Amino acid sequence: MQSPPLPGAAIPPHKPTHRRGPAPCRCAPLVGALAAAARADAACFHFPGHRRGEAAPPSLSSLLGPSVFSHDLPELTELDDLFSPAGPLLRAQHLAAALFGAEDTFFLVGGSTSGVQAAVMATCSPGETLILPRHAHLSAFSAMVLSGALPRYLPPSHDPSWSVPLGATADHVAAALRAAATAGERVSAVLLTSPTYHGLCSDVRAAAELCHAARVPLLVDEAHGAHFRFHERFPRAAMDQGADLAVQSTHKVLTSLTQSSMLHARTRLVDRDRLRRCLQALQSSSPSFLLLASLDAARAQLRPGVFDEAVRLADHAKARIAGIPGVDLLDGLGEMDPLRVTVGVWRLGMTGYEADEELERAHGVRSELAGARSVTFAVNLGTRRGDVERLVEGLRWVAGARRGCGGGSEMGSGMAVGRAALSPREAFFARKKTVGVRESRGRVCGEMVCTYPPGIPVLVPGEEITVEAVEFLLMAKEKGAAISGAADRTLSTIVVCDC
């Protein structure tokens, strides 16, 4: 176990690597241990109460089958302890670390949300500064509530044509570090989102060099980039570019069960013991071994060429979509994940929300993300050519039905950020009251309100509510976007700080 550097001690440079990792190991020690435990002949007097399926709810057992319940086991001795692993779980994490280019890998059962929260809590104490993009996932903002960190946002980077946030550049990070130094702030970490939900990447390598020169750890929310190490067409993974901590949603493009993720560490700037304590504080003391074993299985599934067909299908989809009049393809805004297919529909005179609804209603095509001006589709290992053909024909039908409508979506981005009157933590614990949405402008927001997905907060506790943010939320709701976080889901009212 590595120890954090002593104050004033020299820190050896963290050298990024181009290594793609060792040959994959097909064995899955945690999966094997779970299978053996389920087969054991035992009189069980432990939880869970369904007792390996014998008392499982009939409706769910008939849906999932008895095998799910027989493998839904607690932290038996032979299965290991999530917070102090010494057996098959530890071996599974070591295999994952080797494959993903980390020194240590921690399995997560609270999704990437718990990983981002732990990363921030392990590096930032109350009153210290966290540099991050304003379009970070809501987990970064809840992490500031938990840690007491104060935000300093990177200079805004947003493409108005597509209404999407862009990746961070070296200039953005350098400017934020200089501004913090000028203000006398103690920067404890920099957090980047790379890739974004739309697949756009930040310059992680340059950011890591800048951060390490300032003795500041670089954290990367790489929730959408767990697959980056496994095809030559993919961008470089954060661990290979010098990131200290990277959080990946193994359940997104990779194949573990929903809610399971990994946190990778390769650093001498982050105290591993503090990181472990944060993970224990944030995660369940009764973790699901189905989720944990699925992480082990997803890792064992990775092999050379596993993404070849997915890349071919994504290329085929883009080539076909490019020929549809009135539909645009997201490209040219920086390095991006080739498995993300984002189509712009504003030249059809509609919003992404409307296009998404028509695609699902008329063709049964379900997207990953609808936005103000675009719809995003995620190609992955389970995508088939028939899925792609259905998507292309659905888009062709939508474009034909809307051709000649003219105009375009006038929805803004919703990213007109108000002045920070309180820290996220102060606002979270402040006294609150409810006001009408039209009367909320200029008040200090008391709740976090997002369109979901992507889970990027439009309103953040502690910031003054802007006219643009309110108008965006109301328009997004009218166009069919899901609103998350607001106490009043109708958005007739907003919770504000009573200050």
Type of residue found at 320: R
pLDDT of res. 452: 77
pLDDT per position as a tens digit, 167-208: 999 999 999 999 999 999 999 999 999 999 999 999 999 999
Q: Which of 93-102, 306-315, 320-329, 401-410 has the lowest mean pLDDT?
A: 401-410
Q: Which of 24-28, 122-126, 259-263 has the lowest mean pLDDT?
A: 24-28
Q: Which residues contact 370 (CB under 8 A, 6 or more apart)?
A: 352, 353, 355, 356, 376, 480, 481
Phi and psi dihedrals of 9, rounded to 5? -75, 150
User: What CA–CA distance (Å, rounded) separates 328 from 455?
Assistant: 24
Place 416 in a pLDDT band, splitting at 50, 70 and 90.
Answer: low
Q: Does the structure show a pLDDT above 60 at 4? A: no
Q: Which of 405, 352, 347 is nearest to 198 (CA)?
A: 352
Six token digits for residue 254: 């990779």
User: What CA–CA distance (Å, rounded) separates 172 from 150?
Assistant: 18
pLDDT of res. 475: 86
Outline where 183-282 has alpha helix (H).
204-213, 272-282
Residue intervals of the chain classified under CATH 3.90.100.10 are 424-497
Q: Which of 194-198, 404-408, 476-480 has the lowest mean pLDDT?
A: 404-408
**Are the C-beta atoms of residues 256 and 295 closer than 8 Å to each other?**
yes
Q: Span 308-402: which CATH code?
A: 3.90.1150.10
Most confident of 64-68, 201-205, 464-468: 201-205
Q: Does the structure show a pLDDT above 60 at 450? A: yes
Q: Which of 397, 389, 414, 384 is nearest to 345 (CA)?
A: 397
User: What CA–CA distance (Å, rounded) separates 360 from 422?
Assistant: 42
User: At 151, is the secondary structure helix, strand, or coil?
Assistant: strand
Six token digits for residue 370: 């609808």
Q: Does the structure show a pLDDT above 70 at 344? A: yes
Number of Cβ within a 10 Å radius of residue 251:
21
pLDDT of res. 53: 87
**Are the C-beta atoms of residues 224 and 197 closer than 8 Å to each other?**
yes
**Are the C-beta atoms of residues 159 and 166 closer than 8 Å to each other?**
yes
User: At 357, is the secondary structure helix, strand, or coil?
Assistant: helix
Phi and psi dihedrals of 374, rounded to 5? -155, 170
User: What CA–CA distance (Å, rounded) separates 246 from 9?
Assistant: 24
How confident is the model over 74-79, as a mean pLDDT? 92
**Are the C-beta atoms of residues 157 and 166 closer than 8 Å to each other?**
yes
**Are the C-beta atoms of residues 111 and 250 closer than 8 Å to each other?**
no
pLDDT of res. 268: 96
Residue intervals of the chain classified under CATH 3.90.1150.10 are 308-402
pLDDT of res. 17: 43
Q: Which of 408, 338, 395, 367 is nearest to 163 (CA)?
A: 408
Residue intervals of the chain classified under CATH 3.40.640.10 are 81-301
User: What CA–CA distance (Å, rounded) separates 355 from 350?
Assistant: 7
With a pLDDT cut of 70, the percent of the chain lying above it is: 93
Question: Residue 373 half-sphere exposure, CB side, CA atoms within 13 Å?
Answer: 22
pLDDT of res. 406: 52
What CATH class is the domain 81-301?
alpha beta
Six token digits for residue 157: 């980077």
Q: What is the pTM of this model?
A: 0.92
Q: Span 424-497: which CATH code?
A: 3.90.100.10
pLDDT of res. 5: 39
Angle between helices 29-39 and 289-301 (to 10 degrees): 140
